[in-house]
Structures are given as C-alpha cells and as structure tokens.
Amino acid sequence: MKISSDIETDNRENEDEAAFDTFILRNFTLFSKQGNVIEGLHNTSNKFNLFETSRNLRYISVSLLIEADAKRTYIRKSNQIESFDGFHEFLLNKLIAMLLILIYTVSNLTHYLILYIKIIGMGKIGVSQSLTHWVTAS
C-alpha cells in the first residue's frame, strides 16, 4: 500500500502547486519591461503581506511573477537569487544600471548637440536655421 500512499501524496502536492500557481496568476500583476518596476515591487509586497504569504512561498512565486525579457534575465541569474528580497534587489540593481546607461547616453547626446550648435554657429547659416535643417534631415 506504500505505492498507493505515495501516489496520493504526489497527486495532492501537484494539486497544491497548481492551486498556488493559479492564485498567484489571478491575484498579482506580472513584471515586464513595460511596467513600473518600483510600483510593481511595492504592490507585490503589499499583496504578499495582505495574503500573509510566507517568505518561502514568496520566493517560489518569483518565476510566476515575471514574463518576457524580464523572465529571460531572471533565469540567467536565478542561481544567485535566494529570496523574494533578493529578487527585489536584483530588479532594483537592473533598474539602476538602465538609468545610468540612459544618463550617460543623454549626456553624450547633449555634448554632441552643443558641439554641433557651436560648429554651425561659426558658419554662415544661423543656429535656428541649422537646427531646423538638422531636425528635418534626421
């Protein structure tokens, strides 16, 4: 009868897993690149607290809470993430890295735009005319 008992236990565990997956997917918003990460983390943490979700279940739910590029990025680093708080830190670090790249890019574009204005300003064409030409030519 041990085999029958093991099968019943496995069936119950599978049903519990499916019920948990359904609960998460119905009650939580998935993380993707399009969403507001900070707001999403805050809302997810609040829902975990509201539903009194244990830390272990929070961690288990991480793979269900992400989609698209965010999921691929998470999978590459999942062996380094050991809790939902670790996932939270991981997302914030990714966000900071993206912001730094954006700031660097805007800084470079601003530098080149100022340089362009200075160069054109020295020529025969006026700055406003050259900017109009530059914008329409792009």
What pLDDT, on the 0 to 100 scale, is given for residue 133? 57
Q: Is the pLDDT of residue 3 over 80?
A: no
Structural domains of the chain, count = 1
CB 32 within 8 A of CB 66: yes
Give 6's pLDDT tier (boundaries 50, 70, 90): low
Cα Dmax for the chain: 96
| Enclosing domain of residue 98 | 2-137
- Indicate the range of 6-15, 16-25, 56-65, 98-107 predicted with least confidence: 6-15
Q: Pick the more confident residue, 12 or 45.
A: 45
Q: Is the pLDDT of residue 50 over 90?
A: yes
Q: Is the pLDDT of residue 135 over 60?
A: no
pLDDT tens sequence across 75-121: 888 888 888 898 888 888 888 888 888 888 888 788 777 777 777 66
CA atoms within 13 A on the CB side of 52: 0
Round to whole Å and give the CA distance between 111 and 35: 30
Task: Give this prediction's pTM.
Answer: 0.60
CB 89 within 8 A of CB 102: no
Q: How much is the mean pLDDT over the chain?
A: 79
What pLDDT, on the 0 to 100 scale, is given for residue 105? 87
